[in-house]
Amino acid sequence: MKNNTKVTVEFLKEKAKKLSVLYVEDEELLRNTTTAFLRKLFQNVEVAVDGKEGLDKFTHNKYDIVITDISMPNMNGLELISNIRKKNLQQEIIIMTAHTESKYTNQVKTANVAGYIFKPVEINQMLEILSISIERLN
């Protein structure tokens, strides 16, 4: 299984090397760990600590993929997605969340995202969702 993951990572590295990612997460430990992993796949990974900073970075730069948490201070992930959609309906967006409760279900459905990565993050799930986005972009 570990060897299979390594093959998947190498395959994705080749396809993702020229793509850029904006990763928006307020939880420091998860942000640092996930950022380190994303930098193994993508050459350009920008990080924001909340939705407000994420929107500011998105407004001033172009990203192929946006990965965002839902629950964050200053602007939550759903508000961020809504603002991104006003600027770019086709933006590839992935939600990373611990929320599975129904209060977010309808909002998430209308957000038109590429996929969901549930916390605690499992590497194979992350690779699967990233693969889908990378394939759509290529």
pLDDT at 16 over 50: yes
Cβ atoms of 12 and 103 within 8 Å: the answer is: no
Cβ atoms of 78 and 111 within 8 Å: the answer is: yes
Least confident of 17-26, 59-68, 116-125: 116-125
pLDDT in tens, 67-96: 999 989 999 999 999 999 999 999 999 999
The pTM (predicted TM-score) of the whole model is: 0.90
Cβ atoms of 131 and 106 within 8 Å: the answer is: no
pLDDT in tens, 92-113: 999 998 866 555 655 666 677 8
Cβ atoms of 60 and 35 within 8 Å: the answer is: no
**Averaged confidence pLDDT in the chain:** 88
